[in-house]
Amino acid sequence: MSNKNVQIFQNICPHNCYSSCGIRTYVNNGAIVDIEGDPNHPFTQGRLCSKGYTLLKKSYNPERILNPMIRAKKGSNQWRNISWKKAIDLIVNKILEIKESGQSTESIFFDMRTGNIGMLQQALANLFNSLGPITKVGNGLCDPAGADAHFYTFGEVRNADPSDMLNSQYIIIWGGNPAATSIHQMTLIKQIKQNGGKIVVIDPIQTATAAYADTHIKIKPGTDGALALGMIKYIYDHDLWDREFVTNHVLGWEEFLHYFETEVSLEWSSKTCGVSIEQISMLAREYCTKKPSAIWQGLGGQRHINGGQNYRIINSLAAITGNITVIGGGIYYIDFRSYNLLNNAFKHVNLNHTDRCININNLNGLMGIPIKLAFITSSNPMAQYPNINMIKKFFDNVEFTVTVDHFFTETAKFSDLILPVATFFEKPDFLASYWHKYIGYSKQAIKPLGESKNEFEIARLLAIELNELGITEPLKYLPDLNADDFLARHLKPLLARLSEVDYSDIIKGGYYKLTGINTTWEDKKFKTPSGKIVLPSNPIYLPERKPKNNYPYRLIATHSEVSLNSQFSNIDVIQNIAESPKVFINNKLALYLKLKNSDKVRLYNNCGEVIMKLEISDSVPEEVIMCYQSNQKDNFSINCLVEPLLTDLGEGSRGFKGVAYHDTFVNISKA
């Protein structure tokens, strides 16, 4: 873009995604005229995904909410614009009513998720935390079981550097689909294959990644631990384990051995996970002999009631072969260390209370203290939480719901007040990746559209009124700052402490890795209490969830390349690619059920029902019904079918268990 009036800004995609891409934003006369991937970003190197290239359209989308809006009356579909002053008054009055009536501040529900993963929104979290103990959903939705598997095995949740994978000769991608969800890492995986390395995918579904791989192992969902145990059995029987490493750096081997001698055979493993003994043996042999060999655990494989234990058993493979300390070996999951460093720097330090953190499945029927005010930001619980009909009942009983968003999401439609929020082009922010570990400054490129405001500004307006009423004493400083001051106030001390990059340099642009973010474990020092890797203990294999008579098919709602949970699907180009929501079943199952392509089918279980269009595809196993995460345009969320089940692990590293999204069973019939 050669026009000399055009200014270029560095932005960072704020979506919940492995890549956290660097973006170049071209602005002319106060309007964005183009965006492209930032070639200077060390990991994403100038490339965005198909969603990323629509970010400009998303920002200028005619459906964007650009004024605060109030619903005419609860349950109605009529909205009218109101001023920010009135909107803030409504929220403050509700808080005041709670305080003055002597009710607990636990009657305030605050929900902030990962609709964007920038740091600026911490201003809102701090403001609500300063009110006193409030109510939150404790559960992380997506990753806690796998995170705990790493926490208990290695003492922390830590990945090798993604580029280290290029040193691998053999990659097992276990329960993930980077071709759709992590396109930049997929590029590295393709390089590994081109350089002669071998790619194996373990997945019940023939995803795009599985189709690309050298070998696709089709496993029965939820039985990953049984396959890993079969591999370990083979490795032990053929003396392929690393005796020296296990003796010096692994705890629990004796108990593990006893379990193998009494409980595990290749026949049992094969029967349980549906993978032939030949394939189990081949996988084990190649994993041990084509070194360095790495395993990448996706998020999908741990969304089961036994997902955490399954991932612990998979972790054991990297431990007993010593692969964990080898560059190009190791085991990848996610790595929140950079993100947590930043995020913790923004946490308000003066608070000495404990919030009421509740189990997501107990939201409806909250005992004791009913919810008077719900404040939702960066979240769409009416689409993304499990068992949506139960979540609806919860919101039905909330006196006043406020949603901060860009669009009329399912949750916004259910709210009483909507506050229009600025996009990432319209505010300054800091972002950190949970994959490649780079952090960076995303510079405000244009003014907020319409009357939208960034999260800091919304918090500041609330703080001005609440401070006058003496309610948010700890946040006295907030009204005197702007968004950039707020970022600097929280980040400068952290960067000074890490003494790698100066704040004044980082806001000029560029992407930085923080010191102290080590990657592999070459030093063989693990942060477990014993300093050693800890193998899982009895009962080592937790059985997978089995179908019920009335609901015989497992539902797997997965991510596609063109959508991200409930986001992006209202963008016209994405709609053209994504078509209408479809459900995929295997040809054999279609014949058995006498269903054909394009039939309208009903999926149902105890939690709800949806009507979708059928596509027959042999990429899906016979016992599985697959679809993609749904969106705003579909007027339903597939999560209305997700049963209220939690994963086995999550409390150790995340405080709460995750949601066992992939252990839902449904039935299907012609609609």
Q: Which is nearer to ligand SF4, 45 or 67 (CB)?
A: 45
**Residue pair 443/432 in contact by the 8 Å Cβ criterion:** no
Q: Which is nearer to ligand SF4, 114 or 411 (CB)?
A: 114
Q: Which is nearer to ligand SF4, 182 or 302 (CB)?
A: 182
Q: Which two tokens stand for residue 314?
A: 């998979």
CB of 52 to ligand SF4, least distance (A): 2
CB of 561 to ligand SF4, least distance (A): 9
Residue 518: CA atoms inside 13 Å, Cβ hemisphere, count?
Answer: 11
H runs (alpha helix) in 10-121: 55-59, 84-100
CB of 509 to ligand SF4, least distance (A): 18
Q: Which is nearer to ligand SF4, 13 or 419 (CB)?
A: 13
What strands lie across the sheet with 31-37, from one edge to the other? 7-12, 22-28, 31-37
Q: 616: which strand partners?
A: 585
CB of 460 to ligand SF4, least distance (A): 28
CB of 376 to ligand SF4, least distance (A): 22
Burial class (CB in 10 A: 0-12, 13-18, 19+), 243: exposed
CB of 293 to ligand SF4, least distance (A): 27
CB of 19 to ligand SF4, least distance (A): 4
For 459-510, give the secondary structure using H, E and C: HHHHHHHHHHCCCCHHHCCHHHCCHHHHHHHHHHHHHHHHCCCCHHHHCCCC
Q: Which is nearer to ligand SF4, 19 or 129 (CB)?
A: 19
CB of 273 to ligand SF4, least distance (A): 32
Q: 108: which strand partners?
A: 373
The secondary structure of residue 102, as a DSSP letter, is: T
Q: Which is nearer to ligand SF4, 429 or 663 (CB)?
A: 429
Q: Under 8 Å CB-to-CB from 190, ≥6 apart: which residues?
A: 212
Task: State the Cα–Cα distance between residues 370 and 184, nearest whole angstrom.
Answer: 45
CB of 658 to ligand SF4, least distance (A): 21
H runs (alpha helix) in 303-440: 307-320, 337-346, 381-384, 388-396, 410-413
Task: Name the site residues for ligand SF4 (rule: CB under 6 A).
Answer: 13, 15, 17, 19-21, 48-49, 51-52, 183
**Residue pair 660/545 in contact by the 8 Å Cβ criterion:** yes
Q: 8: which strand partners?
A: 26
**Residue pair 277/266 in contact by the 8 Å Cβ criterion:** yes
CB of 615 to ligand SF4, least distance (A): 25
Q: Which is nearer to ligand SF4, 178 or 650 (CB)?
A: 178
Q: Which is nearer to ligand SF4, 20 or 122 (CB)?
A: 20
Q: Which is nearer to ligand SF4, 96 or 208 (CB)?
A: 208
Which uninterrupted H or E stretch holds 34?
strand 31-37
Q: Which residue is nearest to ligand SF4 (CB)?
A: 52
Q: Under 8 Å CB-to-CB from 333, ≥6 apart: which residues?
A: 143, 146, 147, 149, 150, 157, 159, 296, 297, 311
Q: Which is nearer to ligand SF4, 49 or 660 (CB)?
A: 49
Counted residue by residue, the chain has a size of 671
Q: Which is nearer to ligand SF4, 17 or 627 (CB)?
A: 17
CB of 110 to ligand SF4, least distance (A): 26
